[in-house]
Protein backbone atom coordinates (compact mmCIF):
# COMPACT_ATOMS: atom_id res chain seq x y z
CA UNK A 1 0.00 0.00 0.00
CA UNK A 2 1.29 3.48 -0.85
CA UNK A 3 0.76 6.67 1.17
CA UNK A 4 1.56 9.92 -0.65
CA UNK A 5 2.69 12.87 1.47
CA UNK A 6 1.70 16.45 0.67
CA UNK A 7 5.14 17.03 -0.88
CA UNK A 8 4.69 14.02 -3.16
CA UNK A 9 6.86 11.39 -1.46
CA UNK A 10 5.55 7.82 -1.57
CA UNK A 11 5.62 5.89 1.70
CA UNK A 12 5.17 2.14 2.06
CA UNK A 13 2.43 1.15 4.53
CA UNK A 14 0.60 -1.99 5.59
CA UNK A 15 -2.58 -2.69 7.59
CA UNK A 16 -3.40 -5.96 9.35
CA UNK A 17 -5.58 -7.26 12.14
CA UNK A 18 -9.15 -6.38 12.98
CA UNK A 19 -9.31 -5.52 16.65
CA UNK A 20 -11.75 -3.09 18.23
CA UNK A 21 -10.87 0.44 19.28
CA UNK A 22 -8.54 2.94 17.71
CA UNK A 23 -6.04 1.46 15.23
CA UNK A 24 -2.46 1.13 16.47
CA UNK A 25 0.12 2.86 14.25
CA UNK A 26 3.71 1.66 14.68
CA UNK A 27 6.75 3.96 14.30
CA UNK A 28 10.00 2.11 13.69
CA UNK A 29 13.46 3.01 14.93
CA UNK A 30 16.53 4.41 13.26
CA UNK A 31 16.47 7.07 12.05
CA UNK A 32 17.17 5.81 8.56
CA UNK A 33 15.99 2.22 9.01
CA UNK A 34 12.71 0.50 8.11
CA UNK A 35 9.76 -1.28 9.68
CA UNK A 36 10.88 -4.40 11.57
CA UNK A 37 7.56 -4.99 13.33
CA UNK A 38 6.26 -8.05 11.50
CA UNK A 39 6.58 -10.19 14.65
CA UNK A 40 4.93 -7.51 16.80
CA UNK A 41 2.04 -7.14 14.36
CA UNK A 42 1.49 -10.89 14.46
CA UNK A 43 1.32 -10.74 18.27
CA UNK A 44 -1.30 -7.99 18.18
CA UNK A 45 -3.41 -8.77 15.11
CA UNK A 46 -6.15 -10.43 17.18
CA UNK A 47 -6.28 -7.42 19.53
CA UNK A 48 -6.02 -4.39 17.26
CA UNK A 49 -5.91 -3.09 13.73
CA UNK A 50 -2.18 -2.54 13.24
CA UNK A 51 -0.69 -0.10 10.74
CA UNK A 52 3.00 -0.24 9.83
CA UNK A 53 4.95 2.11 7.58
CA UNK A 54 8.46 2.86 6.38
CA UNK A 55 9.65 6.40 7.05
CA UNK A 56 10.73 8.52 4.10
CA UNK A 57 14.02 7.64 2.47
CA UNK A 58 14.18 4.17 3.98
CA UNK A 59 13.01 0.61 3.49
CA UNK A 60 10.27 0.23 0.90
CA UNK A 61 9.48 3.96 0.86
CA UNK A 62 10.67 6.31 -1.86
CA UNK A 63 14.31 7.36 -1.83
CA UNK A 64 14.45 11.13 -1.70
CA UNK A 65 16.56 14.11 -0.71
CA UNK A 66 14.68 14.75 2.53
CA UNK A 67 14.04 17.09 4.13
CA UNK A 68 15.42 15.33 7.20
CA UNK A 69 13.69 17.14 10.06
CA UNK A 70 11.49 15.99 12.92
CA UNK A 71 8.70 18.29 11.74
CA UNK A 72 8.77 16.68 8.29
CA UNK A 73 8.51 13.19 9.80
CA UNK A 74 5.64 14.29 12.06
CA UNK A 75 3.83 15.51 8.93
CA UNK A 76 4.57 12.21 7.20
CA UNK A 77 3.02 10.33 10.12
CA UNK A 78 -0.03 12.56 9.81
CA UNK A 79 -0.22 11.66 6.12
CA UNK A 80 -0.38 8.00 7.16
CA UNK A 81 -3.20 8.82 9.56
CA UNK A 82 -5.16 10.66 6.88
CA UNK A 83 -4.58 7.95 4.27
CA UNK A 84 -6.27 5.38 6.51
CA UNK A 85 -9.09 7.78 7.40
CA UNK A 86 -8.30 7.86 11.12
CA UNK A 87 -9.72 10.58 13.32
CA UNK A 88 -7.69 9.25 16.24
CA UNK A 89 -5.10 6.53 16.61
CA UNK A 90 -3.01 4.84 19.25
CA UNK A 91 0.71 5.28 18.61
CA UNK A 92 3.55 2.90 19.41
CA UNK A 93 7.09 4.09 18.79
CA UNK A 94 10.30 2.14 19.29
CA UNK A 95 13.74 3.72 19.89
CA UNK A 96 14.00 6.72 17.51
CA UNK A 97 10.39 5.94 16.60
CA UNK A 98 9.44 6.52 20.25
CA UNK A 99 10.86 10.03 19.91
CA UNK A 100 8.92 10.54 16.67
CA UNK A 101 5.69 9.26 18.24
CA UNK A 102 6.18 11.52 21.26
CA UNK A 103 6.85 14.49 18.97
CA UNK A 104 3.67 13.77 17.02
CA UNK A 105 1.62 13.43 20.21
CA UNK A 106 2.91 16.76 21.51
CA UNK A 107 2.10 18.44 18.18
CA UNK A 108 -1.33 16.83 17.64
CA UNK A 109 -2.62 15.46 20.94
CA UNK A 110 -6.20 15.51 19.71
CA UNK A 111 -5.29 12.80 17.18
CA UNK A 112 -3.74 10.37 19.70
CA UNK A 113 -5.79 8.22 22.09
CA UNK A 114 -2.74 6.64 23.76
CA UNK A 115 1.03 6.60 23.30
CA UNK A 116 3.20 3.52 23.87
CA UNK A 117 6.85 4.58 24.25
CA UNK A 118 9.15 1.57 23.80
CA UNK A 119 12.92 1.60 24.44
CA UNK A 120 13.30 5.35 24.01
CA UNK A 121 15.92 7.58 25.62
CA UNK A 122 13.89 10.24 27.43
CA UNK A 123 13.88 14.00 27.01
CA UNK A 124 17.18 15.05 28.60
CA UNK A 125 20.05 16.23 26.36
CA UNK A 126 21.68 13.41 24.39
CA UNK A 127 25.05 14.32 25.92
CA UNK A 128 23.89 13.09 29.34
CA UNK A 129 23.43 9.45 28.27
CA UNK A 130 25.24 8.85 24.98
CA UNK A 131 28.71 8.11 26.41
CA UNK A 132 27.17 5.53 28.74
CA UNK A 133 25.47 3.91 25.76
CA UNK A 134 28.73 3.70 23.79
CA UNK A 135 30.51 2.15 26.76
CA UNK A 136 27.77 -0.46 27.14
CA UNK A 137 27.79 -1.17 23.40
CA UNK A 138 31.52 -1.85 23.40
CA UNK A 139 31.30 -3.92 26.57
CA UNK A 140 28.52 -6.13 25.25
CA UNK A 141 30.16 -6.67 21.87
CA UNK A 142 33.39 -7.34 23.77
CA UNK A 143 31.84 -10.40 25.38
CA UNK A 144 32.79 -12.01 22.05
CA UNK A 145 36.25 -10.56 21.21
CA UNK A 146 36.14 -11.85 17.63
CA UNK A 147 32.78 -10.17 17.06
CA UNK A 148 34.04 -6.88 18.50
CA UNK A 149 37.18 -6.98 16.34
CA UNK A 150 35.16 -7.75 13.22
CA UNK A 151 32.69 -4.92 13.99
CA UNK A 152 35.57 -2.48 14.36
CA UNK A 153 37.23 -3.41 11.08
CA UNK A 154 34.18 -3.40 8.82
CA UNK A 155 33.28 -0.24 6.84
CA UNK A 156 30.50 1.82 8.41
CA UNK A 157 28.08 1.17 5.56
CA UNK A 158 28.64 -2.60 5.42
CA UNK A 159 25.40 -4.47 6.29
CA UNK A 160 27.37 -7.03 8.29
CA UNK A 161 28.63 -4.26 10.58
CA UNK A 162 25.06 -3.19 11.32
CA UNK A 163 24.05 -6.77 12.06
CA UNK A 164 26.97 -7.24 14.45
CA UNK A 165 26.08 -3.98 16.21
CA UNK A 166 22.45 -5.05 16.52
CA UNK A 167 23.53 -8.19 18.40
CA UNK A 168 24.29 -5.91 21.36
CA UNK A 169 20.59 -5.03 21.57
CA UNK A 170 19.63 -8.48 22.88
CA UNK A 171 19.94 -9.76 26.43
CA UNK A 172 19.99 -13.38 25.22
CA UNK A 173 23.56 -13.59 24.03
CA UNK A 174 23.20 -17.16 22.74
CA UNK A 175 20.57 -16.13 20.19
CA UNK A 176 21.62 -12.50 19.63
CA UNK A 177 23.17 -13.07 16.21
CA UNK A 178 20.14 -15.05 15.07
CA UNK A 179 17.81 -12.26 16.19
CA UNK A 180 19.95 -9.59 14.53
CA UNK A 181 20.03 -11.44 11.22
CA UNK A 182 16.23 -11.68 11.26
CA UNK A 183 16.05 -7.88 11.56
CA UNK A 184 18.17 -7.65 8.41
CA UNK A 185 15.95 -9.98 6.35
CA UNK A 186 15.01 -8.39 4.06
CA UNK A 187 17.85 -5.90 3.97
CA UNK A 188 17.32 -2.34 2.75
CA UNK A 189 20.06 0.23 2.41
CA UNK A 190 20.33 2.38 5.53
CA UNK A 191 19.54 6.05 4.96
CA UNK A 192 22.78 7.39 6.46
CA UNK A 193 22.13 10.96 5.32
CA UNK A 194 18.79 11.08 7.11
CA UNK A 195 20.26 9.36 10.16
CA UNK A 196 23.03 11.92 10.47
CA UNK A 197 20.76 14.94 9.98
CA UNK A 198 18.02 13.80 12.36
CA UNK A 199 20.46 12.79 15.08
CA UNK A 200 22.18 16.17 14.77
CA UNK A 201 18.81 17.90 15.12
CA UNK A 202 18.06 15.88 18.25
CA UNK A 203 21.39 16.88 19.79
CA UNK A 204 20.55 20.55 19.12
CA UNK A 205 16.94 20.60 20.23
CA UNK A 206 16.29 17.82 22.75
CA UNK A 207 16.55 18.50 26.47
CA UNK A 208 15.10 22.02 26.54
CA UNK A 209 12.87 23.44 29.29
CA UNK A 210 10.18 23.98 26.65
CA UNK A 211 10.14 20.26 25.84
CA UNK A 212 9.77 19.33 29.50
CA UNK A 213 6.96 21.88 29.90
CA UNK A 214 5.16 20.49 26.85
CA UNK A 215 5.39 16.95 28.24
CA UNK A 216 4.09 18.14 31.63
CA UNK A 217 1.03 19.59 29.89
CA UNK A 218 0.28 16.50 27.77
CA UNK A 219 -3.21 15.19 28.43
CA UNK A 220 -2.75 11.83 26.70
CA UNK A 221 -2.19 8.50 28.50
CA UNK A 222 1.35 7.19 27.99
CA UNK A 223 2.73 3.70 28.59
CA UNK A 224 6.52 3.39 28.78
CA UNK A 225 7.92 -0.09 28.13
CA UNK A 226 11.59 -0.83 28.80
CA UNK A 227 13.77 -3.88 28.58
CA UNK A 228 15.94 -3.90 31.70
CA UNK A 229 18.93 -5.20 29.71
CA UNK A 230 18.82 -2.44 27.06
CA UNK A 231 22.32 -0.99 26.60
CA UNK A 232 20.83 2.48 26.33
CA UNK A 233 20.66 3.58 29.97
CA UNK A 234 17.16 3.20 31.35
CA UNK A 235 17.76 6.03 33.80
CA UNK A 236 17.69 8.36 30.79
CA UNK A 237 13.97 7.65 30.44
CA UNK A 238 13.31 8.87 34.00
CA UNK A 239 13.25 12.43 32.65
CA UNK A 240 10.20 11.64 30.52
CA UNK A 241 8.42 9.60 33.16
CA UNK A 242 8.86 12.39 35.71
CA UNK A 243 7.50 15.03 33.31
CA UNK A 244 4.34 13.25 32.13
CA UNK A 245 1.13 13.63 34.14
CA UNK A 246 -0.58 10.45 32.82
CA UNK A 247 2.02 7.72 32.64
CA UNK A 248 2.63 4.12 33.55
CA UNK A 249 5.95 2.32 33.15
CA UNK A 250 6.61 -1.40 32.74
CA UNK A 251 10.14 -2.85 32.84
CA UNK A 252 10.65 -6.33 31.40
CA UNK A 253 13.59 -7.85 33.31
CA UNK A 254 14.84 -10.37 30.75
CA UNK A 255 14.66 -8.19 27.63
CA UNK A 256 16.96 -5.82 25.81
CA UNK A 257 16.21 -3.12 23.24
CA UNK A 258 13.54 -5.13 21.39
CA UNK A 259 11.39 -6.46 24.22
CA UNK A 260 8.66 -7.93 22.00
CA UNK A 261 11.28 -10.26 20.48
CA UNK A 262 12.75 -11.55 23.75
CA UNK A 263 9.67 -11.46 25.98
CA UNK A 264 6.60 -11.50 23.72
CA UNK A 265 4.21 -12.60 26.48
CA UNK A 266 5.46 -9.93 28.86
CA UNK A 267 5.23 -7.33 26.11
CA UNK A 268 1.62 -8.18 25.26
CA UNK A 269 0.73 -8.23 28.95
CA UNK A 270 2.31 -4.77 29.33
CA UNK A 271 0.13 -3.42 26.54
CA UNK A 272 -2.87 -4.43 28.59
CA UNK A 273 -1.60 -2.24 31.44
CA UNK A 274 -2.28 1.10 29.79
CA UNK A 275 -2.52 4.25 31.95
CA UNK A 276 -5.87 5.46 33.32
CA UNK A 277 -8.05 6.75 30.49
CA UNK A 278 -6.44 4.61 27.80
CA UNK A 279 -7.86 1.53 26.14
CA UNK A 280 -6.18 -1.85 26.64
CA UNK A 281 -5.01 -3.53 23.46
| Mean pLDDT for the stretch of residues 188-210 | 96
Q: Does position 276 have pLDDT exceeding 50, yes or no? A: no
DSSP string, 223-281: EEEEETT-SS-GGGGHHHHHH-SSEEEEEETT--S-HHHH-HHHHHHHHTSPPTTS---
User: Quick check: helix, strand or coil at residue 39?
Assistant: helix
pLDDT, tens digit (0-9, with 9 covering 90-100), for 78-132: 999 999 999 999 999 999 999 999 999 999 999 999 999 999 999 999 999 999 9
pLDDT band at residue 199 using 50, 70 and 90 as cut-offs: very high
> pLDDT digit string (tens) for 221-273?
999 999 999 999 999 999 999 999 999 999 999 999 999 999 999 999 999 85
d(CA 135, CA 133): 5
Which CATH architecture is the domain 2-126+189-271 placed in? 3-Layer(aba) Sandwich (3.40)
Asked whether residue 279 carries a pLDDT value surpassing 60, the answer given is no
How open is the CA angle 194-183-48, to the nearest 5 degrees?
90
Residue pLDDT, tens place only, 23-59: 999 999 999 999 999 999 999 988 899 999 999 999 9
Could you tell me the residue ranges of all domains in the chain? 2-126+189-271
What is the model's pTM? 0.96
Amino acid sequence: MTVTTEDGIRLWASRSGAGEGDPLVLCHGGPGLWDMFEDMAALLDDRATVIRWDQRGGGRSQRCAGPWTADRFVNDLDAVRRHFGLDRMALLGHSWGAQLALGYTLARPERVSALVYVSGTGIDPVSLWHDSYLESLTARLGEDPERLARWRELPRRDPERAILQWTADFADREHALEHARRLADPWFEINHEGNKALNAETRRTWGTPDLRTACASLDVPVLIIDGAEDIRPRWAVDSLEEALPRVRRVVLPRAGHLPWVEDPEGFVDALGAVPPGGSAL
